[in-house]
Structure 1
Amino acid sequence: MGYLILVSLIWAFSFGLIKTYLTGLDPLFVGAVRIGIALLVFLPFLKVRGLPFSLLARFFIIGGVQYGLMYGSYIYTYQFLEAHKIALFTITTPLFVSVLDDFFEKRFRYRYLVYAAISVIGASITYYKATDVEGALVGVALLQFSNFCFAVGQVYYRRTLSVHETLKPLEHFGILYAGGMAVSLLLVAAGTDLSRISVTGTQWIVLIFLGILASGIGFFLWNYGATKTNAGSLATMNNLKIPLAVAVSLLFYEVITQSALIKLLLGGGVIVCAVYLSERYARRLPA
């Protein structure tokens, strides 16, 4: 649980950096650079000797889906939706996590789905605006695909590590980034004119910082944390970054209004309650 909270804090700060410094850059290029830097960070720790090809392929595919396809579809939604609408429509990830975990486990724990739904409600309280329901359907569909890809990756990685308990994540996580990088490069080749990209020194510093911390360490700790908690808490924790991101935005980038503060406290409180209920329910389950 602690890893998930730490990563949520890291991601909360990264939103402001992206909005302030990187909005003028090609989004597919930004995604590829961040994943590429994350890959470079984890390459020195990579140890694949002794691992079966089927397992390496599984990690590669997980990374391609969770990072490559997720980033590509998520970033492309900015062509159709405003930033605050994107933030709102990402809140369905807990539902995907809960449903996918039950699907892979071939059982249905309705309480986890209920707690995930409560988390969605909490996040929507934080971000809701009356006009947010009027988003372009193409953008909404792309964003739900992005949410689905991120959910598939973390759930399937958690399931894989539960079977291969002796594996050390640090020694194979570079394979996931390699899969994500492969997909990202294909997307860049198909949709980016590299000759028109100009990156300032400040933007490179931000890209390197985000690549190492938010994408590299962040994604690693998130998936590692996913293996250390129950599916219900994992689902609900996917929305913790939303009230945290709002809090960071209000503290460092915007004027704090009474209305925003009330929504932040209410939404964040609902999400915390959902996590607490999920943890309490998990402790009552048979080992």
Structure 2
Amino acid sequence: MKNPGYVYLIFLGIIWGLTYPLTKIIAVYISPIIITWTRIGIAALFFFLISRGYQYGKKEVINALLNVIAFMVFLNVGVSISSNPGLAAVMRYTQPLFVIIIEMILGIHVSFRYMAGILIGFAGIALSVTSARFDPGVLISLLGGISWAGGTVYFSRNLKSANNIKLNAFMNAFALPIVLAITPAYFYFKYSLYIILILLGILAQAVGFYLWFSSIKLLGPIKASAGSLIVPVFAYIMTFIILGIYPNMLEIIGSIITLAGVYITLSIK
């Protein structure tokens, strides 16, 4: 494992996997949109304090719209209004499939092994969802997967040489007022859980996205996207460790299939 991008993906899986049980704990007491803009706000401050500046321009704005605003809004709205939030959440992991589609449209040859590995990985995730009832919330979450895929390819093609810290500082600062503007008049919030929100902001939004963009730089959009499929696997592990909730048999089998698909894709030279 000479390429540090693989190490970044493992830590990314752990960190983003951890956000599932933490969000599950606080979502009962704090509105999803409050969780979203708090994460973005903390990440914006965190990155600015480290970088003492921003990297901004038209390309950076487009990147922020795709990777932060559209992705997080579609996902949070979709999960919150869906009658099947588990399936809605899984829709974000259609992202590697759409990355391949976009790359092929742009003229990149994608090998059969890449496609097979990602399809196997996504099939494992889909298997772990016990219900397959589609509704508008699921379809909205699917748009989140599409926007994330578009953002991944866009970053790889236009901002690969960007300063990751200054870029993330700008993206989150740019996204914050937009997400604040769509906060509903009615929301619920419990102040005693704010420390978990701070932890989510630093880990999931700041450290997580830094690792994500670094992985794209080192591995390319297809391999990095395939690697992101390990997040649900770590989510089951972290949920068990923190909440004591055992994964069911479908989740275990699905995780094994997902890991096999990820291995197939990441082992390609």
Q: Aligned ranges for residues 82-231 of structure 1 at < 5 Å?
A: 82-104=84-106, 106-111=107-112, 112-125=114-127, 127-129=128-130, 132-136=131-135, 138-162=136-160, 165=161, 167-188=162-183, 192-193=184-185, 196-197=186-187, 199-231=189-221
- Report the Cα offset of residue 73 of structure 1: 1.4
Is 1:280–2:267 an aligned residue pair?
yes
The whole-number CA distance in structure 2 between the counterparts of 1:255 and 1:175 is: 38
**Greater Cα shift, 144-153 or 24-33:** 24-33
Instruction: For residues 52-85 of structure 1, give each alpha carbon's deviation from its aligned partner in whole angstroms, at most 9, with x where no partner exists.
Output: xxx6221122112211111111111111233322
Question: What is the one-letter code of the residue matched to 2:124?
Answer: G
Aligned residue-pair number? 261
CA contact (8 A) 1:91 1:124 kept: no
User: What secondary structure does 2:108 align onto?
Assistant: coil
Aligned to 2:7: 2
Q: Aligned ranges for residues 244-263 of structure 1 at < 5 Å?
A: 244-256=234-246, 260=248, 262-263=249-250
- Report the Cα offset of residue 38 of structure 1: 0.6
CA contact (8 A) 1:61 1:179 kept: no
- Report the Cα offset of residue 10 of structure 1: 0.8
- Report the Cα offset of residue 265 of structure 1: 4.0
* Structure 2, unaligned runs of 5 or more: 1-5
Aligned to 1:266: 253
Aligned to 2:22: 17
The whole-number CA distance in structure 2 between the counterparts of 1:43 and 1:251 is: 33
**Greater Cα shift, 8-17 or 106-115:** 106-115
- Report the Cα offset of residue 264 of structure 1: 4.0
- Report the Cα offset of residue 92 of structure 1: 1.4
- Structure number with greater Rg is 1
**Per the alignment, do residues 252 and 224 of structure 1 end up closer, same or farther by CA in structure 2, a change over 3 Å counting?**
same
Output the TM-score relative to the length of structure 2.
0.87
User: What secondary structure does 2:239 align onto?
Assistant: helix
Identity value in percent: 20
The whole-number CA distance in structure 2 between the counterparts of 1:25 and 1:279 is: 38
- Report the Cα offset of residue 113 of structure 1: 2.5
Question: What is the one-letter code of the residue matched to 2:34?
Answer: F
Is 1:42–2:41 an aligned residue pair?
no
**Per the alignment, do residues 100 and 182 of structure 1 end up closer, same or farther by CA in structure 2, a change over 3 Å counting?**
farther
* Structure 1, unaligned runs of 5 or more: none
Output the TM-score relative to the length of structure 1.
0.82
CA contact (8 A) 1:69 1:183 kept: no
- Report the Cα offset of residue 110 of structure 1: 4.2
Question: What is the one-letter code of the residue matched to 1:80?
Answer: S
- Report the Cα offset of residue 135 of structure 1: 2.6
The whole-number CA distance in structure 1 between the counterparts of 2:150 and 2:138 is: 18
